[in-house]
Amino acid sequence: MNAGDEPLAFFERAEATFREGAAAGNFERRTYRIAEQPIELVAGPAYDFAATALTHLVSNDAVAPSFRILAWDDASSSKSMPAPPWSTDAYGVRGEIEGFNDDRFRTAYDHGANSLSMIDLERGIALFWMRDAAHAPQPDRATPFRTIFHWWAEANDSLFVHGAAVGSDAGAVLIAGAGGAGKSNTALLSLSEGLFYLGDDYCLVRPDPIPRVFSLYATAKCAAKDFVRFPALESAVAPSTDEPEPKRLLYLAKEFGEQLRDSLPLRAILVPHVTLASDETIAVPTSSADALKALAPSTISQLTGAGAETFHGLAALVRQVPCFRLSLGRDSTKIAGAVRKAIEQANE
């Protein structure tokens, strides 16, 4: 076999394993409308968490999907995943598998979740395999198939961005920043105060012709110490698991469905900073470079295959919309108002 044939050969073997499992088990088939595209998810019974995270995007349109994700695990399947045909030296720093990434295929292993993601861009099919999906780590239950959605977005002139997004009838803001910057709390405080919600961790952004942000996950994660601020969200907390969980996982579609939006025009990028300098939260214009530093490193570091293309896409995005530094004050009840004001300011 030529080296170039290996990705195809392995993809076919893995897909055959999925199909055997699907034929024997009670796999669910659902179609979602994601960033205006019909996407089908065929998943084994242990992937209920994925269906819950994406449930606000379920589509009943009778149209052929433009992209399929096939997801299964060994624990609930009749046949085990074939052994990897690559050596341990083949794993890159983001889990990318050397020799299995080319124009047609992308392949990556997530060492935090023990999961394999693989996409065939030519056929529009992705495979997602875990050893045991019933014990999927919290990040996967909150934001499933991240790597696959990143590859798919890149192939569809969009960006899979590490950031929260909330908005109003006037449009949305993307809230950028690494963990601990105040991104999730800002999004959840905005949700609690009646703003629309598109995501707290990852969103899709289509930059052209006019930047638009698309929701992917109706979920949120919140540090246990911060959760006291959100008594209204108690009913959305996911059942606890036996996995170590540093944060509360929230499934928002059931209780907050009316505030979820599939997409909104992107009006601004906010870079939150916890300053506690005063009670007030204020948004002041900041540089595009500041926004890029908040968006790009955390997006790229967490996504397999994200590199120059993602970086330059984000660099173009931060030049397209106004950017604000959001200095988070002590009075958390005033944060949503500052977000609303920033949207209005961006529209002026």
Q: Interface with another protein by CB under 8 A: which residues?
A: 80-84, 88, 91-95, 109-114, 116, 131, 137-139, 178, 244, 287-289, 292-293, 296-298, 300-302, 307-308, 311-312, 315
Neighbours of 247 (CB within 10 A): 18
Query: Which residue lies nearer to another protein by CB, 306 or 336?
Result: 306
C-alpha–C-alpha distance, residues 45 and 28, integer Å: 7
Of the pair 117, 298, the CB lying nearest another protein is at 298
DSSP reduced 3-state for 56: helix
User: CB 207 → another protein: shortest distance, Å?
Assistant: 15
d(CA 139, CA 22): 25
Of 108 and 339, which CB lies nearer to another protein in the complex structure?
A: 108
Cα–Cα distance, 44 to 334 (Å, whole number): 43
CB nearer to another protein: give 181 or 264. 181
Smallest distance, another protein to C-beta of residue 280, A: 26
d(CA 99, CA 5): 10
Q: Which residues contact 270 (CB under 8 A, 6 or more apart)?
A: 173, 174, 175, 176, 186, 283, 323, 324, 325, 326, 339, 342
Helices and strands (H and E) in the chain: how many: 9, 16
Tell me how far, at minimum, the Cβ of 205 lies from another protein, in Å: 17
Task: Using the minimum distance from each CB to another protein, give the nearer residue, 293 or 341.
Answer: 293
Indicate the residue among 123 and 319 with the shorter CB distance to another protein: 319
CB 301 within 8 A of CB 341: no
Q: 3-class SS at 276?
A: coil
Q: Which is nearer to another protein, 4 or 180 (CB)?
A: 180
Token pair for 89: 């030296």
Least spacing, CB of residue 107 vs another protein, in Å: 13
Beta carbon of residue 329, minimum distance to another protein (angstroms, whole number)? 23
Q: How far is the CB of 10 from another protein (least distance, A)?
A: 13
Calculate the dihedral angle through the C-alpha atoms of 141, 240, 220, 30, rounding to the nearest 10 degrees: 40
Shortest reach from residue 283's CB to another protein, in Å: 19
